[in-house]
Amino acid sequence: MQELRGRTAVVIGGGQGIGRGIALALAREGMQVAVLDIERDAARRTAAELEALGAKSLGLRVDVTDAASLAEAEGAVTTALGPVHVLSNNAGVSAPQGPITEKSETDWSWVFSINLFGIVKSVQAFLPGMRAHGQGGHIVNTSSMAGLVAIADLQVGVYTASKYACNGYTEILRAELAPEDIGVSVLCPGLIDTNLAQTSARNRAAAFGGPMPEPAPMPEAMRATAMAPEDVGPIVVRGIRENRLHILTHPDASLALVRARFEAIEADARAQARAEASS
């Protein structure tokens, strides 16, 4: 999708972090941007920033676990800003660190309800309108490097599993929508200076146990090496224009990790083939 100016984008999870960075970048490309977030005030603050840049914007609260909330938002966005051409799904949470075997069923349900099914429901809400206008479009689902490589030492196993699922869903979605001139990308960020753990903790719904104590902020040593969320936005814009399947914030590091993973898979496959050939 090359032409962005004058068209409408929806950025879910756009009130802060990576979503806000994407919203800013899309506004600078001349798009009208609807900012949707679980935190209404954050959505409105970002929308005000975009309007200060000269972009028409709208800030709404949305709960991606609730199809009715998404349907209401879709109607409000279309009425205010017109048909949607770009959908950026950034809502995400992470359970507290710890061994995957110690995570409860509630932990699994909570993380997957947002990191996977929240994306599925958001696409179901906005895709029909994108199809109806017939002008093509683009969907970007935010995953993580944890959706490409599982690193046990990070102790974010539930998050990793949800991001692997996001990547698989996005690849199938891309293949299915390609004939309709709707591109689909998966954004796999590396270390970004966000407050994911803090926003996750304070916004956990009552159905999953309610808010958690706020965790410690990102250590300063990590923060010093992290990419600013605002720098992610232009990377995403380029990925949309180039219709990339994988949009990577740290391509060199990503390549090294992914190569190691697939070399391990290849080694296992070759070893199995040799064993079967000699049996």
**Distance (Å, whole) CA 35 – CA 26:** 11
Q: Which of 110, 159, 164, 169 is catalytic?
A: 159
Which pLDDT belongs to residue 215? 87
Which pLDDT belongs to residue 279? 82
Backbone angles phi, psi at 182, to 5 degrees: -115, 110
| The CA-based dihedral angle spanning residues 28, 120, 84, 62, taken in that order and rounded to the nearest 10 degrees | -70
**Distance (Å, whole) CA 203 – CA 94:** 11
159 is catalytic: yes
pLDDT tens digits in sequence order for the chain, 279 residues long: 889 999 999 999 999 999 999 999 999 999 999 999 999 999 999 999 999 999 999 999 999 999 999 999 999 999 999 999 999 999 999 999 999 999 999 999 999 999 999 999 999 999 999 999 999 999 999 999 999 999 999 999 999 999 999 999 999 999 999 999 999 999 999 999 998 989 999 999 999 999 999 888 888 888 889 999 999 999 999 999 999 999 999 999 999 999 999 999 999 999 999 999 998
What is the CATH code of the structural domain delimited by 8-248? 3.40.50.720
Q: Which residue has the tokens 């799904």?
A: 89
pTM: 0.95
At 187, is the secondary structure helix, strand, or coil?
A: strand
Which pLDDT belongs to residue 55? 97
